[in-house]
């Protein structure tokens, strides 16, 4: 890959979807015993290939290519590392006029992580390629930040779209610690280096500053959306609410109601469609299952954390009198 690091080597798999579609069609016809349709389909495919060979390079150059990428986002947008590699490969290969289709699924997450993911998609448009985002299930918050970069957004009728808002929640254990005579000292240099904290007492000034930072982030989000979709009425859609596909279309959050499958089938009738998939190569520990075992232990500990905190709340710790 272009920009992989030695510590995280990746490998790229490319699938020619037109060929996969034809192979599966012929396989099904063979299983059905429909020899006539199978023969006709194979003859048509041979004729088309002969025409392409006769037309030569010119006909091939006139055809647009379509590249399909998948992005399944978690709270940290972890897949952005693969996304940037896939986009770099496409930009090094594609011609102007080619199209990139992103099958996007994400409920959002960290601002800086999804900001980087959206910036990666912007590289596609800057290179003069057409960018289409398909949302089959959900593209909300940071997911919609990515989607709005596209020239067109397609959504399934019940896909969740929108949530142009910012949220942050911080648990505070100050009263619990104070009850058991446990002090927490926070040392900072800079007036606003630390505002709200999990273990110290949060003053009204701290909370006000934190809220101000959220409002500023929300404004940046709105400005970003406006840049790519100026037709939106932000007073109506930048409330943090989400909508299903039908209503999202009425609000101009999406441009068309369609599944990614139907859109790709339409493209394959005229264009050559290639799906790219990058994955990080598994380490020796992962191959042996050690990493999975460690993750199970961590998940178990996290599941037990609420019970442990409840026991701490109800227990009577020994007191040392002065």
pLDDT in tens, 118-129: 999 999 999 999
Active site residues: 141, 193
**What pLDDT, in 10s, does the model give residues 88-133?**
999 999 998 899 999 999 999 999 999 999 999 999 999 999 999 9
For the segment 19-39, the average pLDDT, to the nearest whole number, is 78
Task: State the residue for tokens 């441009």.
Answer: 255
Measure the CA–CA gap between 195 and 211, rounded to whole angstroms: 10
Domain locations along the chain: 1-163+241-281, 166-231, 286-317
Q: Long-range contacts of range 246-254, CB-CB < 8 Å, 24 or more positions apart?
A: 246/157, 248/155, 248/159, 248/161, 248/162, 249/155, 251/162, 253/144, 253/153, 253/161, 253/162, 253/229, 254/135, 254/153, 254/154, 254/155, 254/161
- Is the model's pLDDT at 265 over the cut of 90? yes
- Is the model's pLDDT at 311 over the cut of 70? no
For the segment 38-66, the average pLDDT, to the nearest whole number, is 65
pLDDT at 180: 84
For the segment 41-49, the average pLDDT, to the nearest whole number, is 65
Closest alpha carbon to 91 in 271, 229, 281, 276: 276
pLDDT at 320: 44
pLDDT at 48: 64
pLDDT band at 309 (very low <50, low <70, confident <90, very high): low
For the segment 208-234, the average pLDDT, to the nearest whole number, is 94
Measure the CA–CA gap between 278 and 284, rounded to whole angstroms: 19
Give the angle subtended at the CA of 288 by the CAs of 284 and 293, to the nearest 5°.
Answer: 115
Class of domain 1-163+241-281 as given by CATH: alpha beta
For the segment 170-191, the average pLDDT, to the nearest whole number, is 82
For the segment 8-33, the average pLDDT, to the nearest whole number, is 84
- Is the model's pLDDT at 58 over the cut of 60? no
- Is the model's pLDDT at 318 over the cut of 70? no
Better-predicted residue by pLDDT, 43 or 268: 268
Closest alpha carbon to 142 in 116, 170, 168, 103: 116
For the chain, give the mean pLDDT.
Answer: 84
For the segment 54-63, the average pLDDT, to the nearest whole number, is 57
Percent of the chain at pLDDT > 90 equals: 53
- The total of other beta-carbon atoms located within 10 Å of residue 313's CB is 11
3-class SS string, 200-242 = CCCCHHHHHHHHHHHHHHHHHHHHHHHHHCCCCCHHHHCCCCE
Measure the CA–CA gap between 298 and 310, rounded to whole angstroms: 19
pLDDT band at 5 (very low <50, low <70, confident <90, very high): low
- Is the model's pLDDT at 322 over the cut of 50? no
Measure the CA–CA gap between 209 and 195, rounded to whole angstroms: 7
**What pLDDT, in 10s, does the model give residues 248-260?**
999 999 999 999 9
pLDDT at 321: 41
Better-predicted residue by pLDDT, 41 or 160: 160
Measure the CA–CA gap between 271 and 267, rounded to whole angstroms: 6
What are the distances in angstroms from CA 175 to CA 169, 181, 319? 17, 10, 17
pLDDT band at 287 (very low <50, low <70, confident <90, very high): low
């Amino acid at each position: 890959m272009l920009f992989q690091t030695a510590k995280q080597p990746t490998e790229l798999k490319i699938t020619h979807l037109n060929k996969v579609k034809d192979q599966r069609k012929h396989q099904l016809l063979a299983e059905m015993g429909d020899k006539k349709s199978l023969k006709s389909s194979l003859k048509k495919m041979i004729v088309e290939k002969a025409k392409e060979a006769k037309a030569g390079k010119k006909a091939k150059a006139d055809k647009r290519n379509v590249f399909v990428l998948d992005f399944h986002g978690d709270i940290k947008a972890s897949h952005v590392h693969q996304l940037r590699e896939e986009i770099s490969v496409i930009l090094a290969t594609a011609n102007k006029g080619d199209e990139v289709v992103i099958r996007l699924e994400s409920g959002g997450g960290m601002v800086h992580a999804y900001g980087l993911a959206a910036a990666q998609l912007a590289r596609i448009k800057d290179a003069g390629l057409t960018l289409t985002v398909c949302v089959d299930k959900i593209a909300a918050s940071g997911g919609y930040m990515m989607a709005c970069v596209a020239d067109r957004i397609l959504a399934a009728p019940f896909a969740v779209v929108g949530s142009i808002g910012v949220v942050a929640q911080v648990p505070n254990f100050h009263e619990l610690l104070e009850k058991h005579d446990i002090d927490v000292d926070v040392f900072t240099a800079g007036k606003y280096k630390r505002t709200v904290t999990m273990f110290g007492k949060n003053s009204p000034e701290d909370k006000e500053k934190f809220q101000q930072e959220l409002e500023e982030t929300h404004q940046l989000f709105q400005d970003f959306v406006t840049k790519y979709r100026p037709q939106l009425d932000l007073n109506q859609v930048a409330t943090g609410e989400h909508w299903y596909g039908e209503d999202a279309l009425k609000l101009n959050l999406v441009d068309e109601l369609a599944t990614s499958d139907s859109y790709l089938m339409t493209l394959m009738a005229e264009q050559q469609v290639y799906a790219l998939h990058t994955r990080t190569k598994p380490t020796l520990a992962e191959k042996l299952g050690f990493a999975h075992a460690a993750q199970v232990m961590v998940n178990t500990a996290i599941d037990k954390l609420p019970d442990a905190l409840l026991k701490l709340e109800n227990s009577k710790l020994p007191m040392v009198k002065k």
